[in-house]
Chain A
Amino acid sequence: MNKIARLFDYQKYESNSELADIISDVESRYPDKRRALSDDELEFVAAAGIPDQAGMKELRPKEKNKAGVVSNPIIPDKRP
Protein backbone atom coordinates (compact mmCIF):
# COMPACT_ATOMS: atom_id res chain seq x y z
CA MET A 1 0.00 0.00 0.00
CA ASN A 2 1.40 3.39 -0.93
CA LYS A 3 2.30 6.14 1.50
CA ILE A 4 -0.76 8.22 0.64
CA ALA A 5 -3.15 5.32 1.25
CA ARG A 6 -1.39 4.50 4.52
CA LEU A 7 -1.66 8.11 5.70
CA PHE A 8 -5.39 8.20 4.90
CA ASP A 9 -5.81 4.98 6.84
CA TYR A 10 -3.88 6.50 9.74
CA GLN A 11 -6.19 9.53 9.55
CA LYS A 12 -9.08 7.22 10.52
CA TYR A 13 -7.20 6.61 13.76
CA GLU A 14 -5.38 9.87 14.49
CA SER A 15 -7.91 12.33 12.96
CA ASN A 16 -5.80 15.34 12.06
CA SER A 17 -8.15 18.35 12.05
CA GLU A 18 -6.78 19.98 8.86
CA LEU A 19 -7.17 16.77 6.92
CA ALA A 20 -10.57 16.13 8.51
CA ASP A 21 -11.78 19.51 7.18
CA ILE A 22 -10.65 18.62 3.67
CA ILE A 23 -12.35 15.23 3.87
CA SER A 24 -15.57 16.79 5.17
CA ASP A 25 -15.51 19.26 2.29
CA VAL A 26 -15.18 16.48 -0.28
CA GLU A 27 -17.81 14.35 1.48
CA SER A 28 -20.27 17.24 1.40
CA ARG A 29 -19.93 17.40 -2.38
CA TYR A 30 -20.14 13.65 -2.89
CA PRO A 31 -22.54 12.15 -0.34
CA ASP A 32 -21.98 8.45 0.25
CA LYS A 33 -24.86 6.58 -1.35
CA ARG A 34 -23.60 3.25 -0.17
CA ARG A 35 -25.02 1.74 2.93
CA ALA A 36 -24.77 -1.51 4.75
CA LEU A 37 -27.60 -3.98 4.36
CA SER A 38 -29.68 -4.43 7.48
CA ASP A 39 -29.91 -7.83 9.17
CA ASP A 40 -33.41 -8.25 7.71
CA GLU A 41 -32.17 -7.50 4.24
CA LEU A 42 -29.25 -9.87 4.63
CA GLU A 43 -31.73 -12.74 4.91
CA PHE A 44 -32.61 -12.17 1.28
CA VAL A 45 -29.04 -12.25 0.02
CA ALA A 46 -27.82 -15.63 -1.16
CA ALA A 47 -24.40 -16.92 -0.26
CA ALA A 48 -23.22 -15.88 -3.72
CA GLY A 49 -24.22 -12.32 -2.88
CA ILE A 50 -27.23 -12.29 -5.20
CA PRO A 51 -30.12 -10.41 -3.58
CA ASP A 52 -33.73 -11.61 -3.77
CA GLN A 53 -35.14 -8.37 -5.09
CA ALA A 54 -38.77 -9.27 -4.46
CA GLY A 55 -38.16 -10.08 -0.83
CA MET A 56 -36.08 -7.01 -0.19
CA LYS A 57 -38.59 -4.66 -1.85
CA GLU A 58 -41.09 -5.52 0.85
CA LEU A 59 -38.64 -4.33 3.47
CA ARG A 60 -37.51 -1.10 1.85
CA PRO A 61 -39.61 2.02 1.35
CA LYS A 62 -39.91 2.96 -2.28
CA GLU A 63 -37.57 5.72 -3.30
CA LYS A 64 -37.98 8.25 -6.05
CA ASN A 65 -35.15 9.75 -8.00
CA LYS A 66 -35.14 13.32 -9.23
CA ALA A 67 -37.09 12.34 -12.32
CA GLY A 68 -39.84 11.03 -10.08
CA VAL A 69 -39.16 7.44 -11.06
CA VAL A 70 -39.72 5.00 -8.24
CA SER A 71 -36.77 2.76 -7.68
CA ASN A 72 -35.50 0.44 -5.03
CA PRO A 73 -31.78 0.63 -5.30
CA ILE A 74 -29.90 -1.97 -3.40
CA ILE A 75 -26.29 -1.01 -3.22
CA PRO A 76 -24.24 -3.19 -0.91
CA ASP A 77 -21.76 -1.24 1.10
CA LYS A 78 -18.40 -2.16 -0.36
CA ARG A 79 -16.57 -0.65 2.50
CA PRO A 80 -15.49 -3.08 5.09
Chain B
Amino acid sequence: MSGALSKEEIYLQYKDKVFAYIRNHVNSPEDAEDLCADVFVKIYQKLDTYDSSKASISTWIYSVTSNTVIDFYRTNHIHSEIPEDLTDERSTVEEEVLSQENLSLLAKALKDLPQEQMDIIVLRYYKGYTLQEVAELMHLSYGVTKLRHREALGRLNEMLAS
Protein backbone atom coordinates (compact mmCIF):
# COMPACT_ATOMS: atom_id res chain seq x y z
CA MET B 1 0.00 0.00 0.00
CA SER B 2 1.27 3.49 -0.73
CA GLY B 3 2.07 4.94 2.65
CA ALA B 4 3.41 8.13 1.09
CA LEU B 5 0.14 9.40 -0.35
CA SER B 6 -3.33 9.42 1.11
CA LYS B 7 -6.34 8.72 -1.11
CA GLU B 8 -7.10 12.41 -1.21
CA GLU B 9 -3.53 13.24 -2.20
CA ILE B 10 -3.62 10.60 -4.92
CA TYR B 11 -6.83 12.09 -6.29
CA LEU B 12 -5.52 15.64 -6.24
CA GLN B 13 -2.20 14.66 -7.77
CA TYR B 14 -3.51 12.41 -10.55
CA LYS B 15 -7.04 13.49 -11.42
CA ASP B 16 -5.93 15.82 -14.21
CA LYS B 17 -3.68 13.19 -15.79
CA VAL B 18 -6.34 10.52 -15.55
CA PHE B 19 -9.05 12.76 -16.97
CA ALA B 20 -6.84 14.04 -19.80
CA TYR B 21 -5.98 10.48 -20.80
CA ILE B 22 -9.60 9.34 -20.75
CA ARG B 23 -10.72 12.43 -22.64
CA ASN B 24 -8.17 11.58 -25.32
CA HIS B 25 -9.84 8.22 -25.82
CA VAL B 26 -13.53 8.90 -25.14
CA ASN B 27 -15.65 11.38 -27.08
CA SER B 28 -18.34 12.14 -24.54
CA PRO B 29 -17.34 14.43 -21.65
CA GLU B 30 -20.03 12.79 -19.52
CA ASP B 31 -18.63 9.32 -20.17
CA ALA B 32 -15.14 10.65 -19.47
CA GLU B 33 -16.23 12.00 -16.10
CA ASP B 34 -17.95 8.74 -15.20
CA LEU B 35 -14.90 6.74 -16.21
CA CYS B 36 -12.64 9.05 -14.24
CA ALA B 37 -14.72 8.38 -11.14
CA ASP B 38 -14.61 4.63 -11.86
CA VAL B 39 -10.81 4.78 -12.11
CA PHE B 40 -10.42 6.34 -8.69
CA VAL B 41 -12.88 3.91 -7.12
CA LYS B 42 -10.72 1.08 -8.48
CA ILE B 43 -7.54 2.77 -7.31
CA TYR B 44 -8.88 3.09 -3.79
CA GLN B 45 -10.11 -0.51 -3.80
CA LYS B 46 -6.78 -1.86 -5.07
CA LEU B 47 -4.45 0.45 -3.20
CA ASP B 48 -3.62 -2.32 -0.72
CA THR B 49 -2.40 -4.51 -3.58
CA TYR B 50 -0.17 -1.86 -5.15
CA ASP B 51 3.44 -3.02 -5.12
CA SER B 52 5.92 -0.15 -5.41
CA SER B 53 8.73 -2.56 -6.36
CA LYS B 54 6.96 -3.39 -9.63
CA ALA B 55 6.06 0.07 -10.87
CA SER B 56 5.82 3.68 -9.82
CA ILE B 57 2.43 4.68 -8.52
CA SER B 58 1.99 6.94 -11.54
CA THR B 59 2.52 4.04 -13.93
CA TRP B 60 0.24 1.84 -11.85
CA ILE B 61 -2.52 4.45 -12.01
CA TYR B 62 -1.97 4.68 -15.76
CA SER B 63 -2.50 0.91 -16.07
CA VAL B 64 -5.72 1.08 -14.05
CA THR B 65 -6.90 3.97 -16.25
CA SER B 66 -5.98 2.26 -19.51
CA ASN B 67 -7.70 -0.97 -18.47
CA THR B 68 -10.82 0.93 -17.41
CA VAL B 69 -11.05 2.53 -20.86
CA ILE B 70 -10.62 -0.88 -22.50
CA ASP B 71 -13.42 -2.29 -20.32
CA PHE B 72 -15.59 0.67 -21.30
CA TYR B 73 -15.19 -0.17 -24.97
CA ARG B 74 -15.86 -3.85 -24.38
CA THR B 75 -18.97 -3.10 -22.33
CA ASN B 76 -20.37 -0.53 -24.73
CA HIS B 77 -19.22 -2.18 -27.98
CA ILE B 78 -18.31 1.23 -29.30
CA HIS B 79 -17.34 0.88 -32.97
CA SER B 80 -17.20 -2.82 -32.20
CA GLU B 81 -13.50 -2.72 -31.58
CA ILE B 82 -10.97 -1.53 -29.11
CA PRO B 83 -8.80 1.32 -30.44
CA GLU B 84 -5.44 0.18 -31.75
CA ASP B 85 -3.49 2.27 -29.31
CA LEU B 86 -4.92 0.32 -26.40
CA THR B 87 -4.01 -3.23 -25.69
CA ASP B 88 -6.14 -5.92 -24.22
CA GLU B 89 -3.06 -7.46 -22.68
CA ARG B 90 -2.90 -6.59 -19.04
CA SER B 91 0.82 -7.28 -18.87
CA THR B 92 2.76 -5.54 -16.15
CA VAL B 93 5.99 -6.29 -18.01
CA GLU B 94 5.28 -3.24 -20.16
CA GLU B 95 5.26 -0.99 -17.13
CA GLU B 96 9.06 -0.83 -17.03
CA VAL B 97 8.95 0.72 -20.51
CA LEU B 98 6.59 3.46 -19.42
CA SER B 99 8.57 6.28 -17.90
CA GLN B 100 9.35 9.95 -18.45
CA GLU B 101 12.87 8.87 -19.32
CA ASN B 102 11.67 6.68 -22.17
CA LEU B 103 9.31 9.40 -23.37
CA SER B 104 12.32 11.74 -23.56
CA LEU B 105 14.30 9.07 -25.39
CA LEU B 106 11.45 8.68 -27.84
CA ALA B 107 11.39 12.45 -28.39
CA LYS B 108 15.14 12.49 -29.10
CA ALA B 109 14.84 9.50 -31.41
CA LEU B 110 12.00 11.16 -33.33
CA LYS B 111 14.07 14.31 -33.80
CA ASP B 112 16.79 12.19 -35.43
CA LEU B 113 14.37 10.88 -38.04
CA PRO B 114 13.77 12.60 -41.38
CA GLN B 115 10.75 14.86 -40.94
CA GLU B 116 8.58 12.75 -43.21
CA GLN B 117 9.20 9.64 -41.11
CA MET B 118 8.64 11.54 -37.86
CA ASP B 119 5.33 12.86 -39.18
CA ILE B 120 4.19 9.37 -40.17
CA ILE B 121 4.98 7.98 -36.72
CA VAL B 122 3.20 10.78 -34.84
CA LEU B 123 0.17 10.73 -37.12
CA ARG B 124 -0.05 6.95 -36.91
CA TYR B 125 0.64 6.29 -33.25
CA TYR B 126 -0.39 9.45 -31.45
CA LYS B 127 -3.19 10.74 -33.63
CA GLY B 128 -4.45 7.25 -34.43
CA TYR B 129 -4.75 7.62 -38.21
CA THR B 130 -4.52 4.50 -40.34
CA LEU B 131 -1.60 4.34 -42.78
CA GLN B 132 -4.07 4.98 -45.60
CA GLU B 133 -5.25 8.15 -43.88
CA VAL B 134 -1.67 9.21 -43.20
CA ALA B 135 -0.85 8.73 -46.88
CA GLU B 136 -3.79 10.97 -47.85
CA LEU B 137 -2.88 13.64 -45.31
CA MET B 138 0.72 13.71 -46.47
CA HIS B 139 -0.11 13.43 -50.17
CA LEU B 140 1.96 10.30 -50.51
CA SER B 141 1.11 6.99 -52.08
CA TYR B 142 0.06 4.24 -49.68
CA GLY B 143 3.04 2.15 -50.76
CA VAL B 144 5.56 4.91 -50.02
CA THR B 145 3.89 5.65 -46.69
CA LYS B 146 4.01 2.02 -45.69
CA LEU B 147 7.70 1.82 -46.62
CA ARG B 148 8.63 5.03 -44.77
CA HIS B 149 6.63 3.77 -41.78
CA ARG B 150 8.56 0.52 -41.70
CA GLU B 151 11.87 2.37 -42.03
CA ALA B 152 10.92 4.76 -39.24
CA LEU B 153 9.88 1.98 -36.88
CA GLY B 154 13.11 0.13 -37.57
CA ARG B 155 15.22 3.20 -36.82
CA LEU B 156 13.24 4.08 -33.71
CA ASN B 157 13.44 0.59 -32.25
CA GLU B 158 17.17 0.58 -32.93
CA MET B 159 17.66 3.93 -31.22
CA LEU B 160 15.48 3.03 -28.27
CA ALA B 161 17.18 -0.30 -27.77
CA SER B 162 20.68 1.21 -27.68
Task: With both chains docked as a complex, state the minimum distance between the C-beta of A12 and any C-beta of chain B, in angstroms.
Answer: 4
Other-chain residue from B18, B103, B110 in contact with A10 (beta carbon distance below 8 A): B103
Q: Which of B96-146 contact A (CB under 8 A)?
A: 97-98, 100, 102-104, 106-108, 110-111, 118-119, 121-123, 125-128, 137-138
Per-position binary interface string of chain B over residues 73-94, scored 1 when its CB falls under 8 Å from any chain A CB and 0 otherwise: 1000011000111110100001
Q: Are B84 and A5 in contact (CB under 8 A)?
A: yes
Other-chain residue from B18, B126, B137 in contact with A8 (beta carbon distance below 8 A): B126
Q: Are A80 and B122 in contact (CB under 8 A)?
A: no
- A1 interfacial by beta-carbon distance below 8 Å: yes
Q: Which range holds the interface residue count of chain A? A: 20 to 34
- A4 CA to B102 CA, complexed, in Å: 10
- A40 interfacial by beta-carbon distance below 8 Å: no
Other-chain residue from B85, B102, B103 in contact with A5 (beta carbon distance below 8 A): B85
- B25 interfacial by beta-carbon distance below 8 Å: yes
- A3 CA to B17 CA, complexed, in Å: 21
Q: Are B111 and A14 in contact (CB under 8 A)?
A: no
Contacts A3-B160, A26-B119; A16 near B100 (Cβ below 8 A):
yes
- B156 interfacial by beta-carbon distance below 8 Å: yes
- A72 interfacial by beta-carbon distance below 8 Å: no
Q: Which range holds the interface residue count of chain B? A: 35 or more
Q: Are A30 and B138 in contact (CB under 8 A)?
A: yes
Q: Are A1 and B62 in contact (CB under 8 A)?
A: no
Q: What are the 7 tightest A-B residue pairs by CB atom distance, in nearest-first order?
A: A16-B103, A18-B107, A13-B21, A1-B87, A26-B122, A19-B107, A8-B125
Task: With A4-B157, A22-B107, A79-B127 given, name 16 new contacts (CB 8 A).
Answer: A1-B84, A1-B85, A4-B125, A8-B126, A10-B98, A12-B20, A12-B126, A13-B18, A13-B66, A14-B98, A21-B107, A26-B122, A30-B123, A77-B27, A80-B27, A80-B128
Task: Sample 30 A-B pairs with CB under 8 A, ordered by A number.
Answer: A3-B157, A4-B156, A5-B84, A5-B85, A6-B94, A7-B103, A8-B85, A8-B106, A9-B86, A11-B126, A12-B25, A14-B62, A14-B103, A16-B104, A18-B103, A18-B104, A18-B108, A19-B107, A19-B110, A23-B122, A26-B118, A30-B119, A30-B123, A36-B27, A77-B27, A78-B79, A79-B27, A79-B128, A80-B25, A80-B26
